[in-house]
Structure 1
Amino acid sequence: MVETGKHRVFTLVYWLIELTLVLPVTTASVKRKVKKEAIKNSVRVSDLLIDAVNGGVQEAFIYEKRIELETRALAASVVRFGKQTDQWLAASHGINTDLKEIGDFENWMKTMEYDCKRISDAICNIYQE
């Protein structure tokens, strides 16, 4: 048709023929383009979903690490307070022992005073006789 120049006379027919020849190629390229874009969008959506899920996992991991650090700190505090409590118990036991010794010494002194008084009275009685 182009060789004979009839495409100028029958332009509508020529466009119709050209459209029927080009349309399947164009439709296929549009389909490929749409398909590529759909794949690209689905990859993006899956990446966003993975990021959302991983974000929660990452946040949980961070909280787990914080809890672990605080647990270790609390365990160290418990050990430190346990040692301090043992020191306090030892000190209070020492004080109690010292108080008992003071009480025993006081009783010993009272006994000695009583004995000395009796001896003194006995000597005085012997001397007066």
Structure 2
Amino acid sequence: MLSSMVKEHQAKQAIKKEVQETKRKEACAAANELTQALVNHLNVGVAQAYLNQKKLDAEAKQLHTSATNFSKQTQQWVNLVDSFSSALKELGDVENWAKTIDADIRTITAALETVYKGSQEAASESQ
């Protein structure tokens, strides 16, 4: 009777061990599946962040290129405006020079007319 109780106890123990081992394996498998699911979920986010970073890098390069081109174009515009401004100043200088010459010529003309009239009057008096 005691030996049958021991055998029965050992049989129950073996069954409990098998059930425990089965549950342990199921728990390990479930933990592995959970871990894999979490890693996959995180990988999706990381992959999306990586793709977004690549897009941002490409757009940053394009923006830098556009900014450089805009800077060059702006410098060309500034040079063109400076050139135009210089040309206007030169025109102003030429206009001023022309006015000065015109005033000098009028003065000379007036002086010559006065001298001519004076010489005409002197010639008519001497006759």
Q: Determine if the TM-score, normalized by the shorter chain, exceeds 0.5.
A: yes
1:118 aligned onto 2:107: yes
1:103 to 92, 98, 104: 92
Aligned to 1:34: 23
Distance (whole Å) between structure 1 residues aligned to residue 104 and residue 93 of structure 2: 16
> Within 5 Å, which residues of 2 pair with 1:11-50?
20=8, 26-50=15-39
Instruction: Provide the rounded CA distance (Å) in 1 between the counterparts of 2:106 and 2:24.
Output: 121
Report how far residue 23 of structure 1 moved: 5.6
Fraction of identical pairs, as percent: 30
CA distance in 2, matches of 1:119, 1:113: 10
TM-score between both structures, scaled by the size of structure 2: 0.74
Q: Distance in 2 between matches of 1:22 and 1:46?
A: 36
Return the TM-score normalized by structure 1.
Answer: 0.73
Deviation at 1:26, TM superposition (A): 5.0
Tell me if 1:70 matches 2:53. Answer: no
- CA distance in 1 between partners of 2:65 and 2:50 (Å): 23
If asked which structure has higher relative contact order (CA below 8 Å, sep 6+), I would say: 1
Cα distance in 2 between the residues matched to 1:64 and 1:121:
84
Q: Give, as a single letter, the amino acid of the residue that structure 2 aligns with 1:114.
A: A
* CA RMSD between the two structures: 2.4
TM-aligned CA deviation for residue 55 of structure 1: 2.1
Flag structure 2 segments of 5+ consecutive residues without an equivalent: 1-7, 120-127
Q: Are 1:91 and 2:80 counterparts? A: yes
Structure 1: give runs of 5+ residues left out of the alignment: 1-19
